[in-house]
Chain A
C-alpha cells in the first residue's frame, strides 16, 4: 500500500468535510479543478445509469454560484452538518489521477436542536493528485445517496 498516497487522499477528504461542517462554503469550490464536476444523485439512479442530479455542476464557477445563491438568495432554516467519513478505497488512474470510493454519513442539527441522520452514502471521486498549487483536487465528485428520499430540503452541499 502507498501510505503517502492514502494520507494525501484522506487529508483531502477530511479537509473537504471540515470546510462544509465549519460553514466555510466559500472555500468549498476550491477543492475542485476549474472544470471539475459535482453531482449529488441516489444509489437507485446511479445503479440504473440515469444521469439526473439533485445538484449537477460541471465547473467550479457553477459551484461558486451555488454558494452565492445559498448565501444571498435561498431561504432555509439555520442548520449544521457533521460529516463522518470512512477510509477511502483508492485505485490508480492515468495522468497523475486516482479514483476513490469513500463512505460518509451526515448528521444534520437544526437551530432548534433537532438532530437527524440526514444522509448516508458514498463518494465516487476522481482526484488530480498535483493540481494547481501542488494540491490534490477533485476532477469529479459524485455523491451517491443510499436513500432516494431527502428530508424537507437539501441546501448545503454534501
Chain B
C-alpha cells in the first residue's frame, strides 16, 4: 500500500501549477525523509499538551456539572417519606418534598409491580409537621387496597416527580417495599376478615420491614403513635430520621 499514499500526496496545489512534477518523498515511510522543520518544537509541544489537559479538565468539569444538575432536576433527592402500613385493606404513609414543603406530592401505588392507583398526598398527618418535616399537616396518603386473592404481595408507593417542562416524569420509591400476606380472599363476600375488630385481622398477617415495631396506624389519628415520623419507635423512625 505504499503506492497509495505516494499517489495521493502528489498534491494538485493549483490549477496552474504543473501536476505531478515532483515525486513525493515525504510520504515515503522511511524515517530519513522526515523533515526536521515538520516537527514541533519542545515548547510548542508543551503548549499543546497543556492546552489539551486544560480542555480535557474543563470538559470534564462541564460534563460533571451537567450530570449533577440533571440528576438533581430529574431525580428529586429531596423526597422524604415512608409507608406506615400496607395490608389487605389499605396502604398508607406520608411523603414530603423538602425542597418545596408546601407542595403536595403525587403518589402511585403498585402491588406486585402492577399499577393500582394514583393520588395526591394531601391527607392529614400532623405528626409530619410536628416532626419538622413540613410546614403543614397535609402530607399523608392512604390507598384502599383492591380485592386480592389469597397470597403474598409486595406494595410499593412511588412519589412522582416532573421535570423538563413536563417532558420527564420519574418515580421514586417512598420508604421501602412492604410485603404482606392475604390469607382469605378479599373483596366480595368471601373477603370478610375472620379476625376480631380490635386487632389486626387474623386473616392478614403483615410482614413489616425489620425494626418496625408498629404495624397499623391511622394517618388521621394518633399522630404520636408508632408510625409518626417523629416517633421514637415508629415505622418512619426506622427509615427516616426526622
Chain A partners chain B = no
Binding site for B on A (CB under 8 A): none
B residues lining the A interface (CB < 8 Å): none
